């Protein structure tokens, strides 16, 4: 994969998502997906140069500012810089890349979007996990990245769960994130624990492709009903899990739409 002819940092990542529920009942499933890694400063260029992609307007595949950040349509760079400042991150922001699902025919559902925030030396310094549920609520977890980590070393972060995701999952849990800085390969794993016991493992993997019209169209044709499959899978797998005996928990979430700054911890293997 190469974007050398265009000079773009943005990428396409066809791949798969898998979920393995461990406790209180065992259940697993997987489905094919694709994500875009968007350098937010490249959005005007991406919009102008591609037939099958648009920024803040309807297209076969599109990216809308109102789907991320403050969710009010304001430009994303001022918002993410504001959040970095609020969190006390002491570096000057450089590139910001956002891994997410795009809109397809104007529709999108992003259970998880990941912001990769670099300094002006192009060193990854912070990651923001933007988590959503099917009730239209969201919350962000922003955590620092060790600037001195070895090249290629996996990023390991952890935080307490502070957001209602599913009626089939407890709230008094902890998230453990293990991810690679996006390159030729995409790898993100989220392990959920409760009282130090594993309850859930979710993994997204992918292989990078250049951001061009040929790959955009080919990827879309390979995943034309992706969101319908995702939403249907969420509800169908929930029904199957309930049948297996998982307890149902009502949504207690009253506060939503904010970014939290948990202290960085390295989770146990």
Q: What is the number of other CB atoms lying within 10 angstroms of the CB of residue 50?
A: 19
- Enter the pTM of the model: 0.88
| Residue 39 vs residues 115, 216, 257: alpha-carbon distances, Å | 10, 16, 23
| Residue 197 vs residues 114, 176, 265: alpha-carbon distances, Å | 25, 12, 17
As a residue count, the chain comes to 269
Give the pLDDT of residue 219.
96
Give the pLDDT of residue 171.
78
Tell me if residue 192 falls in helix, strand or coil.
strand
Average pLDDT, the chain: 87
Quote the CA–CA distance of 14 and 209 in Å, as a whole number.
8
Q: pLDDT, tens digit, for every residue of 201-215?
A: 999 999 999 999 999
Considering only residues 245 and 181, tell me which one the structure prediction assigns the higher pLDDT: 181
Considering only residues 240 and 87, tell me which one the structure prediction assigns the higher pLDDT: 87
Among 133-147, 150-164, 198-212, 222-236, the range with the most confident prediction by mean pLDDT is 198-212
Q: String of b and e for 16-49 (b: at least 16 CB within 10 Å)? A: ebebebbeeeebeeeeebbbbbbbbebbeebbee
Quote the CA–CA distance of 236 and 95 in Å, as a whole number.
39
Query: Do 108 and 101 form a contact (C-beta atoms < 8 A)?
Result: yes
What average pLDDT does the segment 225-247 reach? 62
**Residue 198 — very low, low, confident or very high, per pLDDT cuts 50/70/90?**
very high
Query: Do 177 and 200 form a contact (C-beta atoms < 8 A)?
Result: no
Kindly tell me if the per-residue pLDDT of 156 is higher than 90: yes
**Residue 9 — very low, low, confident or very high, per pLDDT cuts 50/70/90?**
very high
């Amino acid at each position: 994969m190469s974007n050398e002819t265009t000079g773009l940092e943005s990428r396409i990542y066809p791949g798969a998502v898998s979920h393995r529920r461990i406790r209180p009942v065992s259940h697993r499933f997987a489905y094919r997906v694709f994500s875009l890694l968007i350098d937010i400063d490249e959005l005007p260029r991406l919009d102008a140069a591609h037939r099958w992609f648009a920024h803040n307007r309807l297209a076969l595949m599109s990216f809308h500012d109102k789907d991320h950040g403050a969710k009010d349509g304001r430009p994303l760079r001022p918002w993410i810089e504001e959040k970095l400042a609020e969190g006390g991150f002491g570096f000057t922001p450089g590139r910001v890349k956002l891994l997410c699902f795009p809109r397809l025919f104007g529709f999108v559902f992003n259970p998880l979007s990941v912001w990769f925030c670099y300094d002006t030396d192009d060193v990854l310094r912070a990651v923001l996990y933007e988590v959503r549920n099917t009730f239209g609520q969201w919350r962000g977890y922003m955590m620092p990245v060790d600037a001195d980590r070895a090249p290629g070393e996996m990023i390991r972060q952890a935080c307490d769960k502070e957001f209602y995701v599913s009626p089939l999952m407890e709230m008094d849990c902890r998230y453990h994130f293990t991810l690679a800085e996006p390159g030729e390969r995409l790898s993100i794993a989220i392990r959920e624990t409760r009282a130090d016991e594993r309850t859930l493992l979710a993994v997204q993997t992918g292989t990078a492709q250049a951001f061009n019209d040929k790959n955009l169209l080919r990827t879309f044709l390979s995943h034309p009903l992706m969101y319908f499959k995702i939403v249907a899978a969420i509800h169908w797998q929930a029904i199957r899990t309930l049948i297996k005996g998982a307890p149902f928990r009502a949504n207690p979430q009253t506060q939503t739409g904010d970014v939290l700054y948990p202290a960085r911890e390295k989770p146990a293997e």
